Amino acid sequence: MVSELLLSGKKAEHIYALDSWVENHYKTLTDNLIPHTIIDSEILEKISTLHSPNQTVAIVAKDNVEWNLKEKLGNGIFLVLDNLQDPGNLGAIIRTADWFGVSGIFCSPETADVYNPKVVQATMGSIFRMPFYYVNLEVLLLNNTHYVSYAAALGGNNVYEVNFSSNALLIIGNESKGISEKLLNLCSHKIAIPKFGNAESLNAAVACGVLLGLMKR
């Protein structure tokens, strides 16, 4: 993760790492004037949130994303997450979005914090590349004129028969409650992945992956 951070060009405030790690990254650390301290594995274990910390911990300033509705976001697919709660799901969704070249992620204020350590870990580095914005989703959709919005909802149209716009908002709802009724009514299309077996639903990150995989086909 910390290597990915350095590759992404984002600034680390300070890096604490084992001797060997600093040695392997010495050029990057010095070229970019990144403050760093060599520590031993005992201290690493104390300062890390992981049960078995790897080699290094970085302190990074949170992205303070100010975005107003007037600002043009450009073309592409954006994800819209309505009250997604599970950190593992959120992390996997950010990673999946990064794989499929999603342009950014909008989260409702109640959605899990992207800086939750479990989220950060599950993104496998994609958190440093994926822009995200915590906004009022109803206001977002009410003011949207540029994108076609697709809500993932049970009972929606068969996704295999949908011709997706390349300028799209894909809306994913809460793990148990789905998308709120109010938001659902603001979406132009309701889409669903056909069920061939007996499970009651799909995991939110898996459903998001299936939909992005079909949107990009």
Q: Which long-range contacts (CB under 8 A, 24 or more apart) does 200-203 make?
A: 201/154, 203/89
109 part of the interface to a copy of itself, by CB under 8 A: no
Q: 83 and 174 in contact (C-beta within 8 Å)?
A: yes
Sheet holding 148-158, edge to edge: 132-134, 104-107, 77-81, 168-172, 148-158, 189-192
Q: Which of 104, 125, 173, 178 binds a copy of itself (CB under 8 A)?
A: 125
DSSP sequence for 161-195: G----SSEEEEE-BTTTBS-HHHHTT-SEEEEPPP
Q: Which stretch binds a copy of itself (CB under 8 A): 35-43, 59-67, 148-156, 208-216?
A: 208-216
46/217 with CB nearer a copy of itself: 217
205 part of the interface to a copy of itself, by CB under 8 A: yes
Q: Which stretch binds a copy of itself (CB under 8 A): 17-25, 37-45, 149-157, 191-199?
A: 191-199
End-to-end CA separation in angstroms for the chain: 30
35/76 with CB nearer a copy of itself: 76
Q: 24 and 56 in contact (C-beta within 8 Å)?
A: no
Q: Which stretch binds a copy of itself (CB under 8 A): 9-17, 57-65, 118-126, 140-148?
A: 118-126
126/149 with CB nearer a copy of itself: 126
- Calpha distance 45→41 (Å, rounded): 6
Q: Which of 36, 98, 174, 186 binds a copy of itself (CB under 8 A)?
A: 98
User: In the complex, what is the shortest distance from the CB of residue 195 to a copy of itself, in angstroms, rounded to a whole number?
Assistant: 6
CA-wise closest residue to 182 among 152, 145, 139? 139
Q: Which of 129, 144, 188, 192 binds a copy of itself (CB under 8 A)?
A: 129
43/214 with CB nearer a copy of itself: 214
Q: Which stretch binds a copy of itself (CB under 8 A): 34-42, 62-70, 99-107, 148-156?
A: 99-107
79 φ/ψ angles, rounded to the nearest 5 degrees: -95, 145
10/129 with CB nearer a copy of itself: 129
Exposed/middle/buried for residue 162 (C-beta within 10 Å: 0-12, 13-18, 19+):
middle
* C-alpha torsion sign, points 11, 106, 215, 211: positive
Residues near a copy of itself (CB under 8 A)? 88, 92, 95-102, 122, 124-126, 129, 160, 193-203, 205-210, 212-214, 216-217
